[in-house]
Copies of this chain bind each other. A is one copy, B any other.
Amino acid sequence: MFTHNKALQFETNPAAPDAAFARRLQEVLGGKWGEMTVAMQYLYQGWNCRLPGKYKDMLLAIGTEELSHVEIITTMIGKLLDKAPLSPDEADGTNEKSAAFGGSNPQHTIVNGGGASPQDSNGVPWSGAFVTSSGNLMADFYLNATAEMQGRLQVSRLFHMTDDKGVKDMIRMLVTRDHMHQMQWLAAIEELKADGLDGLPVPEAFPLEEEFDEFSHTFIHASDGAKAVDGRWASGPAPDGRGDFTSALIQAHGQEPELAPGDPRLYGTSVLEETEGLIAKAKDALK
């Protein structure tokens, strides 16, 4: 159950409108790695978590914090859109002004009337497919760490796309929380291991005797880049402690596959029999 406070978790004000930056900010709001994604992902993982206790509690806490970040960014986008020019004619001042008009999102004015929307920096709507909640915390926590890295990478880049101190301060706050959240997920991964809840390879519970050993530690080389085997992934001990890496050129463990001719009622192109063609076969099937 959620409650809301009108005060923002963090707030700054832009010095001037910038519709092009408002468009770009949408990436970290409603893009694949934006705040909508991490908020929903952590909450769904928390709700679906079948292990009561610290992990579930933590997921719900951080998911809730991310909702507050969604609020921070939508608010900033609204502020940046004030006084945006509505047409090329109105944007006809400096080159900077015309560049900003060209780089703005038409829906920000036409659809939202000067407000944010759950979409990315190209105007593609946020998708529920961005959320992963597998039920396996180890697999999901690695993804969560990644999400914070991609997120921090994107806000680090945005930091260089504006000179507005108010906007930069908001970005600095987001960069810093992404710093903390990277640390958090990496620590949680270690804790999962320490608690014996999972291990390598994930899921550890799948019995290794069902695997084919010849494929489990071999780097398969399918390109001619000779240096591909110069990394630690092609020799030396593997992180699972169950053997050493080796490498081999890709090779076939099968032949050219044979597919049966298929049901003639599906009218696919397939093998002609000797004395009758496909047409006759299909007609027979129809009788």
Contact = CB atoms under 8 A, between A and B. Distances in A.
B111 A187 contact: no
27 contacts: A1-B6, A1-B250, A1-B252, A2-B4, A2-B65, A2-B222, A3-B224, A6-B57, A8-B253, A9-B250, A9-B254, A32-B111, A44-B115, A47-B75, A60-B225, A82-B259, A86-B157, A86-B161, A87-B160, A92-B99, A98-B102, A114-B268, A124-B125, A136-B268, A149-B203, A156-B206, A160-B265
A235 to B, nearest CB: 10
A126 B254 CA distance: 27
A27 B112 contact: no
A150 B122 contact: no
B283 A207 contact: yes
A53 B228 CA distance: 8
Interface residues of A, number: 213
B233 A114 contact: no
Given A201-B183, A257-B8, A114 B266 contact: yes
Nearest to A68: B1
Contacts of A186: 200, 239
Q: How many copies does the complex hold?
A: 6
A102 B102 contact: yes
B116 A48 contact: yes
A137 to B, nearest CB: 4
Given A24-B106, A88-B99, A178-B201, 18 more contacts: A2-B65, A5-B252, A6-B224, A7-B254, A53-B227, A58-B231, A61-B219, A99-B102, A113-B136, A113-B157, A121-B123, A136-B267, A157-B266, A173-B215, A182-B201, A186-B239, A197-B272, A205-B278
Given A94-B92, A95-B92, A233-B188, A65 B220 contact: yes
B269 A198 contact: yes
Interface string A45-60: 0011111111111101
